[in-house]
Structure 1
């Protein structure tokens, strides 16, 4: 039979009120009594109802995390950082993968609200902005990760995507490449990386050929198919900028299938610096996001907001870093 608060009180030799004070960290309880009650709870395998605590207005010590695609290494790696940081801060994380699907977004938002999470981290483009605005109107703490949307009055934690794209283009241009293709996504971060890439061309006095821009969704197969389209045209590019590592590694595979050598015949640069970047042969040149710092920061900010110690909205921008490895060389 499942232990109850009454069993804990009886076993510890204290009142039910004392057990309740220990659980809720209220009132004046001696350290000896507190330790005795906690040890009794552990011995009886008793855990207070999180849902019951939530219904009485108490925190559940749980965070919700929404990501667009957990199969993308960037989101899986940053989710691990978030979970670790939350654990260190005494919180648990419920993660949901939305697939950038509006119906799933609504479903998971409703689920997380039923679970009475204390706050939300949204690491997704999010199709239905009204849902997020509704959360803010209901005073649910919310922080955006890797998405900077001025229409949402929330704190955002992201990398300087524009600067990252500029650095990627500057690297390829400095190696003598001019006929460069871009494989991007139809999301805000990708658009900013492409904008930075184009502006680097202008700084070099070059004109980017818009026919060399292809948009797709992030997957190995899409990266492979996209690079094949470029390589099979009359004047194939000598370099490719993929707006994330997943697409970049797919591009390496696609080039290999066409017997195109990377980097001898084709230079490829990615974005993110996920663990996959070091597993390719050759290792991937990429623009690194400080995923550990970003994950830690977003958790710390959200917890501060949950405790109502934040009164202003912030736009926190981390600096990307070019990591040169083996997939780029001089033309």
Structure 2
């Protein structure tokens, strides 16, 4: 069977092969109706030009790279889905890589992605100042940051106000009478986590509660590690009445630790998470959490990259979105 070619697409749609080429390479002033007709024909006859050959001719590959720490984390899974769906709407493929927060994996993926001649790259993870990234920036590849921000590079960014989110969660617990609060997080080297802790400090200050009452435990990367950290903290500081876990996975581990220690949530112990992913409603009690607009983050950052690929953007822009506290059943007044 003959492999479909550009002339087959032209014949099926009733336009010239030059018009098909312009649409596939995002050039020229072609109507949306014609574009839709051509893309439908491309899918129907299964015509896909060789991406590398197209790139070598200086054309687009219609491919965007996405680096995230861990697809197993519900937040990044939902973010990746939003990026992929938005890319598909604009006829771009998305190549996703998990870095596991490991610099050597990040560098390896950047080298590989650079060889694939991407049109653009989205960082959903923290990153080091790598040689491969420097090469991409030198080549004027559109690069954007979602959730995480690095001031050392000039790139578009879509962020959530972590300071406000940390403030909202902590203020909620303090207003319920909690003063002995444990904070469970990955690392303060993560700008998002640091911002949330700074917001928590403001809440303590405004309510005249001594910051010395708090306990911060880092190096929690999974629900299991959060469960172990809180279980140990219960032994050394039994006066703890609440936990602010800086993502929903850590909050689920906190709920488990409270249950295993014989504490009833929220009567004896309260838990707040961060993200409002699907896991916040999977178990009882449903989790009080700070909601990030994950779908909006993914859609906005992808559209920014595509606009820059198409030459529609000039100045670098940082978009800051607001989080929202969702109060459910895992928080309550201090029981006396």
Q: TM-score of the superposition, structure 1-length normalised?
A: 0.90
Aligned residues of 1:180 and 1:237 also touching (Cα < 8 A): yes
Alignment of structure 1 residues 109-120 onto 2, 5 Å: 109-120=110-121
Q: Return the offset for 1:39.
A: 8.6
Alpha-carbon distance change, 61 to 34 in structure 1, aligned in 2, over 3 angstroms: closer
Q: Which residue of 2 aligns with 1:163?
A: 164
The C-alpha deviation readout for 1:111-141, integer Å capped at 9, x for no partner, is: 2222221100100011345543432222010
1: CA distance between counterparts of 2:68 and 2:94? 12
**SS at the partner of 2:236?**
coil
Aligned residues of 1:185 and 1:191 also touching (Cα < 8 A): no
Alpha-carbon distance change, 111 to 214 in structure 1, aligned in 2, over 3 angstroms: same
Alpha-carbon distance change, 321 to 38 in structure 1, aligned in 2, over 3 angstroms: closer
2: CA distance between counterparts of 1:189 and 1:81? 20
Aligned residues of 1:62 and 1:91 also touching (Cα < 8 A): yes
2: CA distance between counterparts of 1:169 and 1:28? 52
Alpha-carbon distance change, 20 to 51 in structure 1, aligned in 2, over 3 angstroms: farther
Alignment of structure 1 residues 1-331 onto 2, 5 Å: 3=3, 5=5, 8=8, 12=11, 19=17, 21-25=19-23, 45-186=46-187, 187-209=190-212, 212-331=215-334
The C-alpha deviation readout for 1:230-277, integer Å capped at 9, x for no partner, is: 111144310000000010111111221222211111100000000000
**SS at the partner of 2:211?**
coil
Aligned residues of 2:107 and 2:130 also touching (Cα < 8 A): no
The C-alpha deviation readout for 1:175-225, integer Å capped at 9, x for no partner, is: 000001101121110111011101210111122227611002321111111
2: CA distance between counterparts of 1:143 and 1:198? 30
Q: Return the offset for 1:7.
A: 8.3
Unaligned runs of 5+ in 2: none
1: CA distance between counterparts of 2:231 and 2:315? 48
Provide the alpha-carbon RMSD of the alignment: 3.0
**SS at the partner of 1:232?**
helix
1: CA distance between counterparts of 2:170 and 2:318? 25
1: CA distance between counterparts of 2:100 and 2:239? 32
The C-alpha deviation readout for 1:284-305, integer Å capped at 9, x for no partner, is: 0000001111111101111111
Q: Return the offset for 1:27.
A: 8.2
Alpha-carbon distance change, 296 to 231 in structure 1, aligned in 2, over 3 angstroms: same
